[in-house]
Amino acid sequence: MMTNEREYSSDLEGTSFSNEQSDLVWDHEDVLDLDDFTVQEIETVIALAEQMREVLDRRIARAPALRGFTVINLFFEPSTRTRASFELAGKVLGADVISVSADNSSVVKGESLIDTVKTLSAMRADAIVMRHSMSGAPYLASTYTDAAIINAGDGSHAHPTQALLDIYTLKQRLGSLRGKKIVMVGDISHSRVARSGIWGFSAMGAEVVLCGPPTLLPAGLNDNVHVSRKSSNLPSVQVETDIDVALDNADVVMALRLQKERQQGGLLPSLREYSKLYQVTQERLSRAKQSHVLMHPGPKNEGIEIAGNVASGSNSTIEEQVTNGVAVRMALLYLLAGKGQVGAN
Ligand code: ASP
Ligand code: ASP
């Protein structure tokens, strides 16, 4: 890979990250989704993210281990949080970071996307962070460049960095995810966060429950509620349309944004009806464990999928998710730059 051929300076004070742990495993040139990550690889990212988090918490958060490394953010969909998070992650590590907003309408043809990626590659981008409204676009891009591709969200398919930051946040709070009941509530069928979360949380041993109205559950999952089964090529999950049943004894509750922009229409009677039946409220959360962790990937529609007092309540980990997102993205850039050198599985 092109990135491995360069030399990086990691000898500045406080900037060498430890790759000592013998169980560190990493064998990826791109980060496209978590379905091809082993548990050990997820653990590697989390272990490094912990070190990156320490850097972020310093008064001057700089550890220029990636000087000379170029990251290009290529966003074909609007984004504030994820884009800013990747920009910061690169900058804290001393990389050069450039953000390109591409107008989706001019890139509807596959060829334009390929051209753009080839051009950025010719400019010697080392990593391209890509968000696109078409599921699979980053996979296509990765076949046309030596740069590392990081999927920052493709259509309703995957958002692997979100799932990794959620796993990291949950490990901080709960220690381990093994045997924990994680309930994702809302618009599952349009949610790339849910899809990557299902892979990641299941790999870490959690019990995943999906909850939403039948019209917002992926086809193939909603025809047999209450039954755990393999479907849609996803790991085995439990599906529940009654939120009160779903939240019972939950360790983790993740509210998902109602993705109005991805709905073709006709899937919901009304927003009012939706929030009446599925909004994550304090009252409903009384069924979850008292110590439950409340998550939301952002951006939130308060008053629709989540009540305002819940989002800012003491069980909420929403702000931690945002900070941890920067740390996880730093860890991934570091590993993709060939800095991990932790050997193939
Ligand atoms: N979709 C939102 C955005 O891009 C939030 C996120 O991805 O973190 O701003
Ligand atoms: N930020 C997440 C995403 O880009 C969640 C959302 O937008 O609802 O998928």
Task: Transcribe 274-320 into DSSP letters.
Answer: HHHHH-B-HHHHTTS-TT-EEE--S---BTTTB-HHHHTSTTB-HHH
- Quick check: CB of 161 below 6 Å from ligand 1? no
Instruction: Indicate which atom in ligand 1 lies nearest the CA of residue 80.
Output: 9
State the chain's mean pLDDT as an integer: 87
Q: Is the per-residue pLDDT at 220 higher than 70?
A: no
Confidence (pLDDT) at 78: 84
- Tell which wins on pLDDT, 218 or 214: 214
- Quick check: CB of 264 below 6 Å from ligand 1? no
Residue 341 counted as domain residue: no
Instruction: Report residue 342's pLDDT band, with 50, 70 and 90 as the boundaries.
Output: very low
Whether 220 and 136 share a structural domain: no
Ligand lying nearest the CA atom of residue 75: 1
Give the residue among 157, 141, 160 at the shortest CA–CA distance from 149: 141
Whether 97 and 185 share a structural domain: no
On whether the CB atoms of residues 23 and 78 are closer than 8 A, the answer is no
Confidence (pLDDT) at 40: 95
CA of 179 to the centre of ligand 2 (A): 26
Q: Is the per-residue pLDDT at 245 higher than 50?
A: yes
pLDDT tens figures, 155-190: 999 999 999 999 999 999 999 999 999 999 999 999
Whether 164 and 273 share a structural domain: yes
CA of 84 to the centre of ligand 1 (A): 9
Confidence (pLDDT) at 17: 75
- Tell which wins on pLDDT, 23 or 48: 48
CA of 330 to the centre of ligand 1 (A): 17
Task: Transcribe 203-251 into DSSP letters.
Answer: HTTPEEEEES-GGGS-TTTTTSTT--EEETTEEEEEEES-HHHHHTT-S
CA of 342 to the centre of ligand 1 (A): 31
CA of 146 to the centre of ligand 1 (A): 26
- Quick check: CB of 221 below 6 Å from ligand 2? no
Share of the chain above pLDDT 70, in %: 83
CA of 193 to the centre of ligand 2 (A): 7
The boundaries of the domain holding residue 150 are 2-159+324-336
Whether 140 and 225 share a structural domain: no
Instruction: Report residue 12's pLDDT band, with 50, 70 and 90 as the boundaries.
Output: very low
Range of weakest confidence among 66-80, 243-257, 323-337: 66-80
Instruction: Indicate which atom in ligand 1 lies nearest the CA of residue 79.
Output: 4
Whether 153 and 188 share a structural domain: no
- Quick check: CB of 197 below 6 Å from ligand 2? no
Whether 154 and 185 share a structural domain: no
CATH code of the domain covering residue 281: 3.40.50.1370
- Quick check: CB of 83 below 6 Å from ligand 2? no
Q: Is the per-residue pLDDT at 251 higher than 90?
A: yes
Q: Is the per-residue pLDDT at 324 higher than 60?
A: yes
Q: Please choose from 193, 261, 262 the residue to mutate so as to test ligand 2's pocket, defined by most ligand atoms within 8 A of CB.
A: 193
Whether 193 and 260 share a structural domain: yes
Please count the structural domains in the chain. Answer: 2
Residue 203 counted as domain residue: yes
CA of 299 to the centre of ligand 2 (A): 7
pLDDT tens figures, 259-268: 777 666 677 7
Instruction: Indicate which atom in ligand 2 lies nearest the CA of residue 256.
Output: 8
- Quick check: CB of 3 below 6 Å from ligand 1? no
Whether 42 and 155 share a structural domain: yes
Confidence (pLDDT) at 147: 97
On whether the CB atoms of residues 210 and 188 are closer than 8 A, the answer is yes
- Quick check: CB of 325 below 6 Å from ligand 2? no
Whether 119 and 236 share a structural domain: no
Whether 94 and 228 share a structural domain: no
- What is the mean predicted confidence (pLDDT) over 47-75? 94
**CA atoms of 79 and 101, how far apart (whole Å):** 9
Confidence (pLDDT) at 15: 60
Whether 294 and 229 share a structural domain: yes
Ligand lying nearest the CA atom of residue 301: 2
Residue 291 counted as domain residue: yes
- What is the mean predicted confidence (pLDDT) over 282-295? 98
Residue 25 counted as domain residue: yes
Residue 343 counted as domain residue: no
Residue 50 counted as domain residue: yes
Ligand lying nearest the CA atom of residue 196: 2
Residue 284 counted as domain residue: yes
Q: Is the per-residue pLDDT at 45 higher than 90?
A: yes
Whether 134 and 169 share a structural domain: no
Residue 71 counted as domain residue: yes
Instruction: Report residue 345's pLDDT band, with 50, 70 and 90 as the boundaries.
Output: very low
Range of weakest confidence among 95-104, 138-147, 210-219, 301-310: 95-104
